[in-house]
Amino acid sequence: MKKNHFFALSLIGVAVMSGCSTMPQSTTLDSARVDYSKAQANPQVVTLAPLQLKDAGEALDRANAAQTSREDAEVVESLAYVAKQKIALTQETAQRKSAELAVSNASAERNKLQLQARTNEADQAHQQAAMAELTAEQKTAEANLARQQAAAAQASAAQDQASLAAMQAQMDELNAKKTPRGMVITLGDVLFDTNQAQLKSGGERNVQKLAEFLKRYPQRTVLIEGFTDSRGSDSSNQVLSEQRAQAVSMALIGMGVGRDRVSTKGYGEAYAVAGNDTASGRQLNRRVEIMLSDERGVIAPR
């Protein structure tokens, strides 16, 4: 009985001791648990350092197990320390791998950028070359145009000079005189007899030359003005002067000059060019004057 009693007491003692004594605390283990939770919550650690995380978890399990089975405090402390360092290792590993990824990404990006830069430069060079080519072409074209224009100008100048010379020659042949109103061709009295409006045959040749001139320069028109000497009445002289201008006009039209290019006017005995007191003076006054228009067909009024 006594033995049993002692045994029971000792059992109670053990039970009391185990009940009273709390689990030995380790701050290192506590902080290792916190660190481990953080590492597990960090996706970078979970994806980039899975092996290290597993190793750290196992180290932490060993420390926890040591604490649960009440091993010596220094043993628990040591295991907790190792676990803590291994958890820190997971963070470092994840950071290293992340940085390495960044490096390889960055070099890929740099390669891309360099390629882009080279492409840009090449494009620019192309554009500049194309531009230069275009400019060169333009310049060549401009030069060609200028040459053509110069040649044309020269040609037209030569032509103008030639045609001017030709016209001058013809005008000389027609006895054209330069007056303030323009070129005037005077057909002398040899064309008409006294009191007659009929062209004499000699006069017709002169009219023929005029017709040819007008055909050659179609932009020019003519005003045919008739005059008489002072013999006879004013009214008969007026009619006679008109008839004489008309006679020349009809001759021109008959030779193929357009009607619209020929106009006539009679002035009677006005605008005498010589005295009417002598036969020779009167002869000069019996005349037809032909005004040549300028190139636009304009004739200055008398």
Provide φ and ψ at 225, rounded to 5°.
Answer: -110, 130
Strand pairing partners for 287? 227
Nearest residue (CB) to other proteins, 29 versus 79: 79
Which residues lie near other proteins (CB under 8 A)?
7, 74-75, 78-79, 81-82, 85-86, 88-89, 92-93, 95-97, 99-100, 102-103, 106-107, 109-110, 113-114, 116-117, 120-121
Q: Which stretch of DSSP H or E encloses residue 182?
A: strand 182-187
Nearest residue (CB) to other proteins, 42 versus 78: 78
Could you tell me the smallest distance in angstroms from the CB atom of residue 27 to other proteins?
16
Could you tell me the smallest distance in angstroms from the CB atom of residue 25 to other proteins?
19
Contact of 291 with 186, CB cutoff 8 Å: no
Nearest residue (CB) to other proteins, 101 versus 190: 101
Nearest residue (CB) to other proteins, 73 versus 152: 73
Alpha helices in the chain (DSSP H): 2-20, 27-41, 43-48, 50-68, 73-173, 201-216, 234-254, 279-285
Could you tell me the smallest distance in angstroms from the CB atom of residue 148 to other proteins?
42
Structure tokens at 181: 């109103």
DSSP 38: H
Could you tell me the smallest distance in angstroms from the CB atom of residue 44 to other proteins?
12
Could you tell me the smallest distance in angstroms from the CB atom of residue 122 to other proteins?
12
Nearest residue (CB) to other proteins, 3 versus 259: 3
How many other β-carbons are positioned within 10 Å of the β-carbon of residue 262?
22
